[in-house]
Amino acid sequence: MKTPFTVLWLQAGSCGGCTMSALAAEDVGLVKTLARFGIRLLWHPALSEESGAEALAILSAVAEGRTALDCLCVEGAVMTGPNGSGRFQMLSGSGRPTKDWVTELAARARYVLAVGSCAAFGGMPAGADMGAIGLQWAGWERGGALGETFRSQAGLPVINAAGCAPHPGWVVETLAALALGDFTHDNLDALARPRAFADHLAHHGCGRNEFYEFKASAARHSDRGCLMENLGCKATQAPGDCNLRRWNGGGSCTDGGFACINCTSPGFEEPGAPFLETPKLAGIPVGLPVDMPKAWFVALAALSKSATPQRVRANAHADHVVVPPARKAPKTP
């Protein structure tokens, strides 16, 4: 029988939302989904029966090398304050900062997976004065809690399954690829995010794309129009396949009327403007689609708006379909 691929999951400076997302994995939940790939959870703070001394015994066995660890998953930012001591977050019952446990356990792991943008880049906790950083990044700067040169025993940097929270598929599929031995440096983008999702944009597959094409923009959050021009949507800049695979079987942020806030990228927690407002300069959105020159965007937007069908224009400023598509017989050659 094949030896199980072992996973140890720690929660650092976290709201627990990444775990809540992961629990919705597939049709049978996280633990059974992982078991399909021969993955066994050694311990998870929210899912495992062991607590107190029993949990600490599991962590100590891994730290001392008595129990082999294939993948260390860390959820949440690493708290280094005050003054680098890490005492803003102590691992209960151990008398030691969580950051010290992360460092010690990471050194024993074949792979290290940052679950969510807090663990990857610092995320929301980085907006406060707590010394919150990611495992190998602090915002856009390399380094983090483990240092720029850190490599796991398999020779890989920390793998960043970013997102606030990440799609459960991003976590499960990454762990499955690791367990199957089918994950290399080529599977990572420049920020060490798995390319399986990071090579896409949240814009791809968005249900509002017709409105985007004609620059028929929503003015209120209840409108069906594109959220980019006025309501802060960054889907054209945000790595992720959120609108291709959907969430919980059938939804996404933009489907629900919420702007994409680019939560898979460093610094999303401090956008410099309200999350649900689009900052503009001379009437032009400051954040333009990835790879698009400003002059081309301005020209395209003007042309698109002049060509907007009345149906699209009317529906963009309504909370339901006001004008349905025309019903015409197709032309024959």
Extents of the domains making up the chain: 5-198, 200-321
Report the topology of domain 200-321.
Cytochrome-c3 Hydrogenase; Chain A, domain 2 (4.10.480)
In this prediction, residue 250 carries a pLDDT of: 81
Bridging pattern class, strands 78-79 and 132-133 = antiparallel
pLDDT at 125: 94
CA angle 235, 169, 77 (to 5 degrees): 75
Nearest-CA neighbor of 111 among 68, 65, 48? 68
Looking at residue 1, its pLDDT comes to: 55
pLDDT tens, 34-66? Answer: 999 999 999 999 999 999 999 999 999 999 999
Ranges of the chain whose pLDDT falls below 70: 1
Is 5-198 CATH 3.30.70.20?
Answer: no
Spatial CB neighbours of 182, under 8 Å, sequence gap ≥ 6 = none
According to DSSP, residue 44 is labeled -
